[in-house]
């Protein structure tokens, strides 16, 4: 069983790389951000709390995040292991996680702040089907419209310059020290997130000693 954490500032490609890592290794991708967005889109009580926090450009509180992660991992549908992204984001969350689960490796995707801004502010979301787009590398066929359902694309509520600046500051202040904590107890692998997604995936697998990545034709 393999259990990995993938970390990096927003826009570094955590979700994409986690999905690629899971594809042929029978791992389960657990995205804390996707779980919260699911609740927001379905207007649950939890979603309403998350929406208020996101609109303020803040991170969701530790108690709520830990509860969501615990509930998700308690489903035990990850027979061969998992890759979790979006967690942990601070020292308390990291301590909670390490007390409960043995981690085989931590992947840290490194990306300069200026590249983070360029990537994040180019993201668009379909409120109809949840499809993600990026105006830099993954533009819709019709400007402003989802290729799947035709719904008009929107900017995520937390993808404004102000909200991004707050998250970057919070990341550098709280999340990066988590890497030092993991570094004392686990193996942290720093991977440059600037190359193409396939190159980054190849670097991740090499760092973890996994079978080589074979991009889909």
Catalytic residues: 14, 89, 123, 156, 167
- CA triple 138-26-106, angle to 5 deg: 75
Q: Could you tell me how far CA 123 lies from the centroid of its own chain?
A: 14
Q: Could you tell me how far CA 209 lies from the centroid of its own chain?
A: 22
Terminus-to-terminus CA distance in the chain, angstroms?
28
Residues 6 or more apart from 214 whose CB is under 8 A from it?
Answer: 24
Handedness of CA 5, 185, 211, 70 (dihedral sign): negative
């Amino acid at each position: 069983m393999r259990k990995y954490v993938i970390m990096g500032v927003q826009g570094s490609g955590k979700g994409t790389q986690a999905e690629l890592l899971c594809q042929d290794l029978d791992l389960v991708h657990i995205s804390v951000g996707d779980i919260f967005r699911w609740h927001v889109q379905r207007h649950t009580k939890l979603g309403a709390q998350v929406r208020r926090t996101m609109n303020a450009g803040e991170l969701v509180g530790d108690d709520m995040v830990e509860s969501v992660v615990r509930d998700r991992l308690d489903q035990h549908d990850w027979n061969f292991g998992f890759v979790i992204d979006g967690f942990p984001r601070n020292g308390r969350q990291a301590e909670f996680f390490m007390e409960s689960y043995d981690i085989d490796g931590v992947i840290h995707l490194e990306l300069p702040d200026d590249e983070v801004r360029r990537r994040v502010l180019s993201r668009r979301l379909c409120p109809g089907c949840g499809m993600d787009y990026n105006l830099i590398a993954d533009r819709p066929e019709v400007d402003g419209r989802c290729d799947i359902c035709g719904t008009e694309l929107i900017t995520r509520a937390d993808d404004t310059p102000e909200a991004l600046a707050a998250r970057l500051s919070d990341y550098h202040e709280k999340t990066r020290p988590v890497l030092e904590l993991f570094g004392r107890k686990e193996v942290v692998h720093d991977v440059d997130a600037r190359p193409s997604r396939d190159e980054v995936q190849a670097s991740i697998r090499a760092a973890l000693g996994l079978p080589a990545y074979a991009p889909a034709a």
